[in-house]
Amino acid sequence: MDIEAARYIGAGLAMGLGAIGPGIGEGIAASKALEAIGRNPEASGKITPLMFVSMAITESTGIYALVVTMIILFA
Amino acid sequence: MSLNISLSPEILFYLGTWPISNTFFWSVVVTVFLIIGSFFLRRSLRLIPGKFQNMIEILVEGGYDFVEGVVGDKTKAKRIFPLVFTMFFFIFFCNLLVYIPGQSAVTIQTAGGAVPLFRAIISDYGLVFMMTMISVLITQIVAIVVAGPWKYIGKFINLRSPLKCFLGIMDLIGELAKVMSLSFRLFGNIFAGEILGAVMLFLFPFFLPLPFLFLGLLTAVVQPFVFAVLTLVFISMASDISVPEEA
């Protein structure tokens, strides 16, 4: 196989597989936060920033995959 | 195809033999601006605050209350707060600079061709790595000072049972992985935002990038907060010896 083609396939695989986990995790975080807000609407001001922070931390594995993809593609 | 994406920052000029990259240049500008700004702010502090002082007071006070809430101790909070808040504010300010309109179009001519004068400061891995090293090293120093050197080493090297030995090695790997996870999170988010913006601008100019710009603005606020909070949590965990390690 051509080395260039292998790079593109590797980058696509890394990003695609790496996006599965954070997608599921962020979905769970959002659904639980919305559930909590639905149950107790007055607490939404406290829940929303915490949800964003926890989503940012959940997202990080996806970001690692993205960094690896960028290194494969451009470095 | 006019997309040019590079992982490393572009070099603007050489100071002697020392390359000055665009991110380094702008981070120095931001640092000097923040230092001079806080110096003048300190000189113009009034007992009855004006609008600007009010804003800054709300920010600092909110940050301090948050730190005290996480650490749960007044003297500790007073020691940790300056470091953590400086990290937050510096990264936050650097991220906001990206939203100056038109800055990405300015290029200057160098020996290696046209180079963009401006680049998102946090998308330079060197800077992020240094800040992460500061955070991780301070965490380790606090742990050594609080627990004493022998207890600190004993946390990682434990030969009393195979399980404890294994757990100690896992702890060691966990400490080393902090460097990767902290730095890649911040760098990756900002760099990804830049690339996403560039690609969307390339696909369909002016309108398609707008929602991604808002997403980037959210990232620009949340990521410094996450970085600072994780540093805060690491340090306060390292300084907390009331939690028994042997369980």
Pair B21, B124: CB distance under 8 Å: yes
Position B1 scores a pLDDT of 40
- What totals of helices (H) and strands (E) does chain A contain, helices first? 4, 0
Work out the number of other CB atoms within 10 angstroms of the CB of residue A38. Answer: 9
| pLDDT, averaged in runs of 10, over chain A (75 residues) | 89 93 94 94 86 86 87 80
Q: How far apart are CA B35 and CA B11, in angstroms?
A: 25
**Mean pLDDT rounded to a whole number for chain A:** 89
Position B201 scores a pLDDT of 81
CATH topology for the A3-74 domain: F1FO ATP Synthase (1.20.20)
CA distances from B137 to B51, B75, B132 (A): 38, 21, 8
**Residue B184 contacts A, CB cutoff 8 Å:** yes
Domain boundaries, chain A: 3-74
Domain boundaries, chain B: 11-238
- Helix then strand then coil, in percent of chain B rounded to 5, is 70, 5, 20
**Residue B218 contacts A, CB cutoff 8 Å:** yes
Beta-ladder partners of B63: none
Position B246 scores a pLDDT of 45
Position B241 scores a pLDDT of 63
Position A67 scores a pLDDT of 84
Position B200 scores a pLDDT of 84
The residues, ordered by sequence, that sit 6+ positions from B140 with a Cβ below 8 Å of its Cβ are B175, B238
Pair B10, B22: CB distance under 8 Å: yes
Nearest CB among B7, B180, B225 relative to A53 is that of B225
**Cβ contact, residue pair A52, B218, below 8 Å:** yes
The stretches in chain B having pLDDT less than 70 are 1-4, 112, 241-247
Position B72 scores a pLDDT of 83
Position B4 scores a pLDDT of 66
**Residue B5 contacts A, CB cutoff 8 Å:** yes
